[in-house]
Amino acid sequence: MANVNLTINGKAVSAETDDRTLLVEFIREHQGLTGTHVGCDTSQCGACLVLMDGKAIKSCSTLAAQASGSSIITIEGIATGAELHPVQRAFKENHGLQCGFCTPGMVIAAIDMIERLGPDLDEPTIRKELEGNICRCTGYHNIVKAIKAASMQMATQLEAAE
């Protein structure tokens, strides 16, 4: 048995689990946070993305034991109370989801890319960065629009803060 100690959405979690438990199983089945999805068995769809120490990684291809000691943020942890995260709001406003299955992963990927590459992203960059996220409803156009809107909004917020 592995001893897993980490924080999930700011809350300290300490649990005993099977060594082979995947991080996504730990999050969904042990912690009951079912916003993180499993969309494939081949590590290719990105529905399972979570932020581990600030970086978007595939929780289906990481063991819970490997993540011990880290800080995990899931889709449940990005809004502030009732106020949506700017990326969530942009997905809502731009109709960036249809069935919504890929959306948690898309939103986490978007947060990661905006934080890494800076605000005000252009469309080719966003499309390239989404290489690891598959939308079965194929609604990519509005997903890209939503991420662009969120990145522009974050640019405006930064300017206003200066």
Partner 1 sequence: MYETSYNRVSSVTEAATALDAADDPKILAGGQTLIPTMKQRLAAPSELVDIRQVDELHGISMQADGAIRIGATTTHAEVAANADVRAQLPGLASLAGHIGDPHVRYMGTIGGSLANNDPAADYPAAALALGATITTNKGSYSAEEFFTGMFETALQENEIVTAVTFPVAQRTAYAKFPNPASRYAMAGVFVAQTPSGPRVAVTGAGQEGVFRMPAMEAALAENWAADSLGSIQPDAQDMLADIHGSAEYRANLVNVMAKRAVAAA
- Residues of the shown chain interacting with partner 1 in the complex, contacts defined by CB under 8 A: 2, 18-20, 22, 41-44, 46, 49, 55-58, 60-63, 65-66, 68, 109, 112-113, 129, 131-133
Q: Does 98 bind ligand FES (CB under 6 A)?
A: yes
Alpha-carbon distance of 156 to 18, in angstroms, equals 46
DSSP H or E segment with residue 111: helix 103-117
Q: Which is nearer to partner 1, 18 or 29 (CB)?
A: 18
Q: How many CA atoms lie within 13 A of 150 on its CB side?
A: 30
Among residue numbers 3 through 62, which ones bind ligand FAD (CB under 6 A)?
43-44
Q: Which is nearer to partner 1, 92 or 116 (CB)?
A: 116
Identify what 45 binds: ligand FAD, ligand FES, partner 1, none; CB under 5 to 8 Å per kind: ligand FES
Q: Does 66 bind ligand FES (CB under 6 A)?
A: no
Q: Say if residues 96 and 139 touch (Cβ distance below 8 Å).
A: yes
Q: Could you tell me the two tokens for 111?
A: 């947060």
Alpha-carbon distance of 72 to 10, in angstroms, equals 8
Q: Does 28 bind ligand FES (CB under 6 A)?
A: no
Alpha-carbon distance of 129 to 149, in angstroms, equals 16
Q: Does 44 bind ligand FES (CB under 6 A)?
A: yes
